[in-house]
Structure 1
Amino acid sequence: MAAGSAGRIGGGLRCGALPGPRPSGAAADLREPRGGRLIGLLSQIDHHASAGASPWHGASALGKLAVAAALIGVGIASPSLLLLMSLHVVAWGLVLTSRLPLRIAVLAAAYPFLFLALFLISRWDGTAATPLFLALRPLTASLTVAWLIGTTPYPDLFAPLSRVLPRQTGDGLFLTYRALFALVTRSERLGQALRLRGGFSGSPRRRLALAGEAMGTLAVHGFDRSQNLYAAMLLRGHSGRICGCRHFAHRSAADLLSLLVIAGVAAASIFFWRAP
């Protein structure tokens, strides 16, 4: 081989590592769609419910449902701002002791503000007590629900509900929660495909027509997915009840925490019910 061709292979190719692939301009700037924040938040909470290791994860779902019902029920019926503030502190204590990431807890608590802001402005009478009174109820409820679903896997969460509700209603709630993640993920991918292909450009009439077609596609996908799921359940011996398990009611030492919280809520109600 000639000196000038050193380092080459017959055919003119030079030895050495091939250059890495360069991302295309369109794909390099892809961002997570804004509509994916809610489903991402729910996914993180659901993952924490199954993989968390706080004392609340060892408590029974029945006891935690009783805690949530006590907090939300007393919060709705409370005529006292001081009692509402006490319940809100208890809700934050539940969230912090559950080791739920603070960012997720803050986002879960902030979602009611999207619907609450206009109502607070319309009902404001110039005092600080009125907006606090109106805001603490939904904020306490959202924190309590975030703690509940962040420490309880959804099969354990829906199992006791299926004992109280009609069978079709309980099974429907179970399947709806399970299918929510897949359906919203499908809608995000569909919206991303429309955006990349110029679906959000053009006249309002064209965009409205494309939005209708997208909704129809999602509806057909939902029906098809439900049929496939039901067929798979029949093949696996579906007996008419999705979750017939009873481990949601198994007692443990962690259930003492639930009893302590319920006792604290009852004591706060007795002391602060007539407070301003």
Structure 2
Amino acid sequence: MLFSKFLEYLLFEKNYAKHTIVAYKADLEAFSNFYIQEFESDVITKANYAQIRSWIVVLVEQKVSNRTINRKISSLKSYYKFLLKIGEITNNPLAKHKPLKVSKTIQIPFSESEIDNVLDDLRDAHDFESIRDRLIVELFYATGMRRIELVNLKVLDINISARQIKVLGKRNKERYVPLLDTVCQTLKLYLEVRSDIQVKENEPFLLLTKKGVKIYETLVYRIINSYFSKASAKVKKSPHILRHSFATHLLNEGANLNAVKELLGHSSLAATQVYTNNSVAQLTKVYQRSHPRNKR
């Protein structure tokens, strides 16, 4: 079914992350299994739009969210585009497909005081896990990096003397992000306690579990959710909300949108503009409070 060639194309030519490729593979296999069961054929290169549409109907009936369905169909569409590119098919059955409507969810950032409260709670901690957790919170809020980017940080990516960190983003794109003095201080403390635990030989990754192995994404989520559940009543308390807070707070303070785009590792301004809604609200308050005509 040419799955392997497509996945190799994503890995080696498109530089997609391995976890992204795993998601593509799962989506393709899910459709393939449906196609075999429903149409008694495993040649999905011959699938037409009506057949794919029937899969969408089944997914809707199974109460799969529109967002997830759109992702699955996007994976399938990319696969057919690849097949078209290498001459295996003559038309993409999903070429004119329109994604299902998805309701926009408002991402509410943490307030500065909520973040301060979490960091204050961790300020006097001296054990390995608490110092590590403080560093995780500080890195998210000071750099706006993604969770997978934080997990994959290596000790050699840190340059404390230059006060910067190298982040490996999507499609293996590197970017350098400046570090605050407070983060550098926490980094130094963390590296000291890191050297005291039993680290796996030649472990290159910066953030570890107490067993001395690379930290993992679900643990990072639990850490952020746990601390912010005590400090915030907001529904969503995740690493992404800290990334959102980073961008929103910078824009509120007048940071240039292009600069925030570079810090976040976005490929286009459109991706960064989703963080401007809260900034516009803040600017409106300042405008109404400050404009001389509004004081009359």
TM-score above 0.5: no
- Highest RCO, 1 vs 2 (Cα 8 Å, sep ≥ 6): 1
TM-score tier by shorter-chain length is under 0.3
Q: Where is the helix percentage greater, Structure 1 or Structure 2?
A: 1
With structure 1 as the length reference, what TM-score do the two structures score? 0.24
